Amino acid sequence: MLDIKVLGLKHSNRFLIWRVVTVALDELRQEHPDLGATVTNVKDLDGILKYTPVLMTAGLVVNEKLVCVGRYPKKEEVIGWLRAALEQST
């Protein structure tokens, strides 16, 4: 089970990362059909500050680990982070 959080104050910032995460999950589900994942938008200041002090652009947290902040990741990067999280959880 993957717990994914998209951090960002603005919808437009969160949406860009959310889209990449969704596509990455779709690809991973081809390899792992039973893959469970929750994707949550964290849009309140206190929730974001729990993971990072960077507020200008969105961030990405996978299983409570901040994997990206301050830029928009590529799909391949997200797939790599999700695979690593799956390996650690087994």
Confidence band, pLDDT 50/70/90 cuts, at residue 54: confident
- The number of folded domains in the chain is 1
Q: Are 87 and 43 in contact (CB under 8 A)?
A: no
User: 67: how many CB neighbours lie within 10 A of its CB?
Assistant: 18
Model pLDDT, residue 81 = 97
Q: 3-state DSSP helix/strand/coil percent for the chain, to nearest 5?
A: 45, 25, 30
Domain CATH for 36:
3.40.30.10
Q: How confident is the model at residue 34 (pLDDT cuts 50, 70, 90)?
A: very high
Return d(Cα 13, Cα 10) in angstroms, integer: 5
Is-above-0.85 flag for pTM?
Answer: yes
Q: What pLDDT is recorded for position 58?
A: 87
In the predicted model, is pLDDT for residue 55 greater than 80? no
Round the average pLDDT of the chain to a whole number and report it: 93
Can you give the residue range of the structural domain that contains 42?
2-89
